[in-house]
Structure 1
Amino acid sequence: MAKDKKLTKSNDRVLSGVLGGVSEYFDLDASLVRLIFAAATIFTGFFPFVFIYIVAVVIMPDSPNTHQYKYRFDEDAEEKRRDVTPDEDDQI
């Protein structure tokens, strides 16, 4: 049986989205995962968990839900800033 879920960085991010991605993968609360990670990091002397976190930042792919476009505005509009961000349907 193939898994549908993949371990990716989350859009619910504090630093890089690694712990948010882990919490989404295991269907846990993100605050709980962050609290456990912080406690484990402090009690083990920082090195192993900080090293694992840095490796995960480099290795884990971004979430496919990450939007490619930032909000852009039409600067030529008179007195109103008109949103000209393309919709998701307009992406090629």
Structure 2
Amino acid sequence: MNSKRRLTRSSNRILTGVLGGLAEYFGINKTLVRVIYVVLSIFPGRILFGLLVYLLLTVLIPEDSGTKHHTTFWGSGQQSRSRKELHDVTEEDTDKK
């Protein structure tokens, strides 16, 4: 089995998928990686450094090319679903006087 793992941003994302991608690459729990990142970033004087590292990783780590993402802040990173369309819609007044 000669399968090489690639570090890519995850399709299971909250913001950009960086932390989820790191968790998938190393084979650990995504929530654990996110919690560790937040805890390490909130130490006094480290918030700006944590944000800069996150932004740098967002630029350096490529997107997972196999999936199209539906990006929302709290979205699950699922593929976009098609919209349903209504046809032949009529409006009736239900208030009878």
Same fold (TM over 0.5): yes
The AA in structure 2 aligned to 1:65 is: G
Consecutive unaligned residues of structure 1, counting only runs of 5 or more, are 80-92
How many residue pairs match? The answer is 78
TM-score normalised by L of structure 2: 0.66
Cα RMSD (Å): 2.5
Match of 2:72 in 1: none
Q: Which secondary structure does the structure 1 equivalent of 2:42 belong to?
A: helix
* CA-CA distance at 1:9 after TM superposition: 0.3
Match of 1:49 in 2: 50
**If each structure's helix is expressed as a fraction of its own residues, which one has the higher value?**
1
Instruction: Choose 53-62 or 30-39, whichever is displaced more.
Output: 53-62
Cα distance in 1, alignment partners of residues 80 and 39 from structure 2: 35
Cα distance in 2, alignment partners of residues 62 and 55 from structure 1: 14
Consecutive unaligned residues of structure 2, counting only runs of 5 or more, are 70-78, 90-97
* CA-CA distance at 1:71 after TM superposition: 3.6
The AA in structure 1 aligned to 2:54 is: Y
Match of 1:63 in 2: 64
* CA-CA distance at 1:70 after TM superposition: 3.8
Q: Which secondary structure does the structure 2 equivalent of 1:7 belong to?
A: coil
Structure of higher CA gyration radius: 2
TM-score normalised by L of structure 1: 0.69
Q: Among all aligned residue pairs of Structure 1 and Structure 2, give the percentage whose two residues are the same amino acid.
A: 31
**If each structure's strand is expressed as a fraction of its own residues, which one has the higher value?**
1
Higher relative contact order (CA 8 A, sep 6+): 2
Instruction: Choose 18-27 or 56-65, whichever is displaced more.
Output: 56-65
